[in-house]
Amino acid sequence: MNNPGKSIIAACIALVAGGLGLVQEANACTRFVYHGADGEVITGRSMDYKIDTGTHLWIFPRGMARSGEAGPRSLQWTSRYGSVIASAYDIATTDGMNEAGLVANLLWLAESEYPERESGKPGLSISAWTQYMLDNFASVDAAVKALAEEPFTLITDSPPGEQRLATLHLSLSDASGDSAIIEYIKGRQVIHHSRDYQVMTNSPVFEEQLALNEYWREIGGTVMLPGTNRAADRFARASFYVNAIPKSEDPVEAIASAFSVIRNVSVPYGITTPDQPNISSTRWRTVADQKRGLYFFESALAPNVFWVDLKKIDFSSATGTTQRLDLGQYQRTIYSGEANARFKAAKPFRFLGV
């Protein structure tokens, strides 16, 4: 007898797959959270984009005065936690980890619709959304409770050189393994909060991704997994592999496993498919070891993986300094091993305003 539940999910897959073909922009990313042995938590992400975003790494100390860069009624705050981040064009934070082990990842979501600006709430430019989380929270639970009050209105604008608005969603994970996905759907903030929400990609919205993934879970990853570069297929593969890899007590093996998963869901360099949604070359990958405080970076155009050790950084507001690691054009500068000493003192960048 046919399983009606599977039939319904299969129909949803067909509808979503057909609908995805209507979307013309091609940008993608994948993010997952690995729950390992002995409390090990590792978050991996790929940055897939049709053009280079001029990424460099930055160190930000505590005590930095921040602005939401949204005009006269901008959100204002002072950073409570130091962080290491990956920038876009040195005008936005797209990825990073703070000293408490909170990781924030900004990914594309074409379905995003942000609320109209309300006069009673301060504005926060989407370019500073990720940094706001890293600056203010040590845990996912604390961040979710604060966001539930909707303390700001998120404001978006066009990325440099593009004629479209930035439509993004945000993932959070912490050193306990907790996770949250924050989206804006039809002008309303939607928060998905659970340790079980280990994977995020792009279209469709997260709720529909979960439904699609349930179909593949019932089939079983050892039987068959979808193999294309589309977001829903990457979601299914990452969801299977992140829980299939062994939970090694050796942190080196755990990091190797995490890198093998994020590489598996990466898009080969040089591939961009304008008539397919959310498919662009993977330009770089990060893997954050939230227990040991290590932030690993791998460029598609450089042969080595390197890392930043957050536990060796002076994040204090009194003596800590803003520092920048220049990754070169297209992130082709070669670094190897621990790169803390390669950072140079720099003036903080200003977030893109609206």
- Residue 253 CA to residue 38 CA, distance in Å, equals 13
- Residue 353 CA to residue 156 CA, distance in Å, equals 9
Our answer to whether residue 29 is catalytic in this structure is: yes
φ, ψ of residue 327 in degrees (nearest 5) = -95, 0
Residue (of 148, 154, 147) closest to 112 by Cα position: 154
SS3 assignment for 281-339: CEEEEEEEECCCCEEEEEECCCCCEEEEEHHHCCCCCCCCCCEEECCCHHHCCCCCEEC
- Residue 77 CA to residue 283 CA, distance in Å, equals 32
| Spacing of C-alpha 257 from chain mean position | 19
Beta strands in 174-240 (DSSP E): 179-185, 188-193, 199-200
270 secondary structure, DSSP code = T
Residue type, 209: Q
Q: How far is CA 120 from CA 73, 117, 151, 317, in A?
A: 9, 9, 10, 31
17 secondary structure, DSSP code = H
- Residue 93 CA to residue 43 CA, distance in Å, equals 17
One of 9, 16, 29, 212 is an active-site residue; which one? 29
Kindly list the catalytic residues: 29
